């Protein structure tokens, strides 16, 4: 699997020069949903490029392995839970162009509770549509989830079925804020997502690999337990508890991120 990429120059210019993103790395437990515009610009300059690289590398490898299934499609539908500023969606779009050139349309439904992040996402996608051959139809839903009962609203909002459901570095926030009470949010969301997959579809669940002070547990271990408890099975995953990816851009060369990722198939 490829693990190192460069951020496309147009994207680098856009987020850093035009949008004012800042590179500002932090290892603390993050709750991005509560951040203001200044915080989001720090996130945009740090974690957007990382999510782009992670998504591009993981999806490129996955589509190569599963080409027989995905090469029969000319359109792919995606639901991104906790889409934020959209780095993983852009990474996915580039992976599709690289490995599945017959795909003409990408239908994206994004859900996130931070309005400043969604504004950044929409700005990026206004430029993206002029830089890529793939037609992208983007719809975002601003929804802030405060507790487990709010999470039930997902089922009323996400009524369609999707080819791909993904979540990048978002579920950890629910762990930190105890928004699922004592329940394992990875279990709850795996159970919910699997019902919304088309036949042959996949879930990509990715998160940071840190020890969470609130749950007093390692997040990859919580993820694995939650997936097993949901009755889902993992088809592909990183070896061990994390995988290192690198992205280079104008503010940082070979910026490293370590994440745990799991791919769940519908059948």
The predicted pLDDT at position 146 comes to 63
pLDDT of 71 strictly over 60: yes
> Which among 180, 213, 185, 167 is positioned nearest to 29, based on CA atoms?
213
> How would residue 28 be classed by pLDDT, with cut points 50, 70 and 90?
low
The predicted pLDDT at position 2 comes to 97
> Which among 80, 237, 238, 235 is positioned nearest to 171, based on CA atoms?
80
pLDDT of 132 strictly over 50: yes
Can you give the pTM of this predicted structure? 0.92
pLDDT of 116 strictly over 80: yes
Number of domains in the chain: 1
Query: Which CATH number is 121's domain given?
Result: 3.40.50.150
> How would residue 153 be classed by pLDDT, with cut points 50, 70 and 90?
low
For the chain, first and last CA: distance in Å? 24
Whole-angstrom distance, CA of residue 99 vs CA of residue 12: 23
Q: What is the 3-state secondary structure (H, E, C) of the chain?
A: CCCEEECCHHHHHHHHHHCCCCCCCCCCCCCHHHCCHHHHHHHHHHHHHHHHHHHHHHHHHHHHHCHHHHCCCCEEEEEEECCCCCHHHHHHHHHHHHHCCCCCEEEEEEEECCHHHHHHHHHHHHHHCCCCCCEEEEEEEECCCCCHHHHCHHHHHCCCCEEEEEEECCHHHHHHCCCCCCCCHHHHHHHHHHCCEEEEEEEEEEEECCEECCCCEEHHHHHHHHHHHHCCCEEEECCCCCEEEEEEECCEEEEEEEEEEEEEECC
The mean pLDDT value for 3-22 works out to: 97
The predicted pLDDT at position 131 comes to 95
pLDDT of 206 strictly over 70: yes
75-98: pLDDT as tens digits:
999 999 999 999 999 999 999 999
The mean pLDDT value for 177-193 works out to: 80
Other Cβ atoms within 10 Å of 236 Cβ, number: 17
Domain of residue 93, residue span: 4-265
Beta bridge partners of 142: 112
> Which among 90, 85, 104 is positioned nearest to 59, based on CA atoms?
90
């Amino acid at each position: 699997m490829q693990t190192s990429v460069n951020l496309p120059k147009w994207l680098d210019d856009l987020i850093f020069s035009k949008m004012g993103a800042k590179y500002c790395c932090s290892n603390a437990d993050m709750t991005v949903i509560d951040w203001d515009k200044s915080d989001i610009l720090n996130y945009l300059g740090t974690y957007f490029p990382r999510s782009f690289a992670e998504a591009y590398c993981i999806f490129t490898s996955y589509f190569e392995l599963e080409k027989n299934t995905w090469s029969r499609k000319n359109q792919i539908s995606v639901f991104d839970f906790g889409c934020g500023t959209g780095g993983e969606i852009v990474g996915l779009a580039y992976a599709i162009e690289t490995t599945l050139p017959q795909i003409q349309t990408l239908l994206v439904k994004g859900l996130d509770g931070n309005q400043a992040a969604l504004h950044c996402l929409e700005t990026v996608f206004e430029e993206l549509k002029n830089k890529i051959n793939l037609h992208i139809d983007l719809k975002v839903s601003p929804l802030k989830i405060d507790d487990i009962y709010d999470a039930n609203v997902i089922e009323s909002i996400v009524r369609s079925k999707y080819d791909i459901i993904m979540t990048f570095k978002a579920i950890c926030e629910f762990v930190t804020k105890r928004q699922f009470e004592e329940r394992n949010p990875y279990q709850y969301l795996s159970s919910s997502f699997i019902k919304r997959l088309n036949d042959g579809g996949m879930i990509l669940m990715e998160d940071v690999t840190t020890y969470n002070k609130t749950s007093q547990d390692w997040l990859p271990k919580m993820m694995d337990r939650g997936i097993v408890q949901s009755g889902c099975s993992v088809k592909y995953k990183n070896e061990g508890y994390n995988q290192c990816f690198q992205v280079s851009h104008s503010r940082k060369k070979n910026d490293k991120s370590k994440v745990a990722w799991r791919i769940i198939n519908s059948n």
